[in-house]
Amino acid sequence: MTVPQGAVIKPLLRGPYRAYCATTAEDIEAAQALRARAFKLVQPRDIDGFDAQKHHILVRHQGSGDLLCCYRIGLMEGASLDQSYAAQFYDLTKLTCFPGAMMELGRFCLAPGVTDPDVVRMAWAALAQFVDAHTVALLFGCTSFKGTNPAPYSDVMALLHSRHLAPLQWQPQVKAPDTVGFVERTLDKPAEKAALQMLPPLLRSYLMMGGWVSDHAVIDHQMNTLHVFTGLEIAAIPEGRKRLLRGAA
């Protein structure tokens, strides 16, 4: 496994945790193994052709060395969006006109049993470093729900449709053969509260910072997930939250 060069991120040490950019093949293999466990895949490691092109961020426990969280990121401009992981599933033609550098975030996962929110905070702090260093204007990726059955998520999709759709000028179009379109539907307060609780933690974080999603979900049988295209314009993040992220870094 070739390790991508040129990452601009210093290791972060906070309490018992360390966040850093992978520098060895062993680091990437550990991330691939964690991804396989988190996504409950049959194979021992989750491997694809995008790994060699991306920077891999890992969060470990400093005492035990256990890998607690990982994700991968890649920088690109509008003209190179067709080389992104997300472009396999979504027509991103509109986003090719987006002004500014973009960063794709993917394969974000936690080790089973990890519940300490500081682990996720460390992951975001490392990401904030990278965003600032490369003047990233848009963060994007595919955010996953467990399983391929859309029925349990019907209220979640109604919530996303009513509040969090992408601006029309950037809206991803349907490309994948197996998708679920969002339907406009009003939720009562209990259903809305339940839908909010069903949001995956990563998607909830995106939305709290002003993120938006596609108007449909893709059924990904290979990963046994449903996912939505998710975008976050860095300029839209509230200043208070930016300070928190940078402070953690």
pLDDT at 248: 56
What is residue 10's predicted lDDT score, i.e. its pLDDT?
Answer: 85
pLDDT of res. 247: 59
Give the model confidence (pLDDT) of 94-107 as tens digits: 999 999 999 999 99
Instruction: Give the pair of three-digit tokens for residue 104.
Output: 């794709």
**Do residues 186 and 177 make contact, with C-beta atoms less than 8 angstroms apart?**
no
Please give the pLDDT value at position 214.
98
pLDDT of residue 104: 97
Closest CA to 55 of 113, 104, 14, 101: 104
Question: Which parts of the chain fold into alpha helices (H)?
Answer: 25-38, 117-133, 154-163, 189-198, 201-208, 239-248
How many Å apart are CA 87 and CA 50, to the nearest integer? Answer: 12
pLDDT of the chain, 249 residues: tens digit per residue: 555 555 557 899 999 999 999 999 999 999 999 999 999 999 999 999 999 999 999 999 999 999 999 999 999 988 899 999 999 999 999 999 999 999 999 999 999 999 999 999 999 999 999 999 999 999 999 999 999 999 999 999 999 999 999 999 999 999 999 999 999 999 999 999 999 999 998 899 999 999 999 999 999 999 999 999 999 999 998 888 777 676 555
Q: Within 10 Å of residue 72's Cβ, how many Cβ atoms?
A: 24
Cβ proximity of 91 and 58 under 8 Å: no
Residue 124 zone, left/alpha/beta (φ > 0; ψ -120 to 50; rest)? alpha
pLDDT score, position 216: 98
Residue 71 CA to residue 230 CA, distance in Å, equals 15
Write out the two tokens for 33: 């193994």
Q: Hey, is 221 helix, strand or coil?
A: coil
Please give the pLDDT value at position 3.
Answer: 54
**Cβ–Cβ under 8 Å, residues 158 and 151:** no
pLDDT at position 244 is 66
Residue with tokens 């080389």: 83
**List of residues 6+ apart from 31 with CB closer than 8 A:** 22, 56, 58, 67, 70, 72, 107
Residue 148 burial class via C-beta count within 10 angstroms: exposed 0-12, middle 13-18, buried 19 and up: middle
Domains of the chain: 12-248 (3.40.630.30)
d(CA 35, CA 31): 6
The pLDDT tens digits of the residues spanning 178-233 come to 999 999 999 999 999 999 999 998 899 999 999 999 999 999 999 999 999 999 99
